[in-house]
Amino acid sequence: TANDRGQTERFEDYLEMGVASVPLHDYFFDELATLYISDQRYAHAVELADQTLAADSSSPKALYLKAFSLYNMEDEKACLEVAKQLVKVDTSHTYIEANYYAGQLIMKELETIYLPTRLRSKAFEVAKNEMKRVCSEARPYLERYRKYAPSQHEKWAPLLYRIYLELNMGAEFEDVSRFVQ
């Protein structure tokens, strides 16, 4: 009734009371999450997710809300942890975007690796090995994202292009090259 009458604050209060009383009830969680996200109140959304995760630590819906919010808050480290956890529990691949978050955030580690100009130096070899490790870690997430979100090639193609290049994967590199301009 409060929502129908345009009493947004009152409606939000009722939703918060509902979540506090019954944290696993979809209606209260979904409506409150929608409200927070539409208002870009990501910190509130993280609190809501944490409240639900306290009742069910493997709730894919709550994990996704938390990962999405942390991603938008640019809390990369926390988002990566939550996204990896969500990928493990989301066996139905409902929240496929978590794979993108994980893969993209892992690939950001490449920005921190200094690649020396002397090709035959030990430091160059160490840096290339670290780059390969990062790419190998990100690869399954981004390949899964590609599989379940093929139309999102503007997101996965540049990352897979870099991965396949670094890992010297010729056939895969050629395949993904057609999506990169």
The pLDDT assigned to 164 comes to 97
Give the pLDDT band of residue 11 (cuts 50, 70, 90). Answer: low
Residue 153, pLDDT > 90, answer yes
| Average pLDDT of span 149-158 | 97
Cβ-contact 23, 55 below 8 angstroms: yes
Contacts of 95 (CB under 8 A, 6+ apart): 60, 61, 63, 64, 67, 86
Tell me: the pLDDT tens digits for 25-70? 898 999 999 999 999 999 999 999 999 999 999 999 999 999 999 9
Q: How far is CA 123 from CA 3, 25, 127, 128, 163, in A?
A: 62, 54, 6, 9, 21
In this predicted structure, which of 17-26, 112-121, 125-134, 166-175 has the lowest mean pLDDT? Answer: 17-26
CA distance 95 to 79: 14
Residue 18, pLDDT > 90, answer no
Tell me: the pLDDT tens digits for 167-177? 999 999 999 99
The pLDDT assigned to 41 comes to 96
Question: How confident is the prediction for the chain on average, in pLDDT?
Answer: 93
CA distance 5 to 152: 39
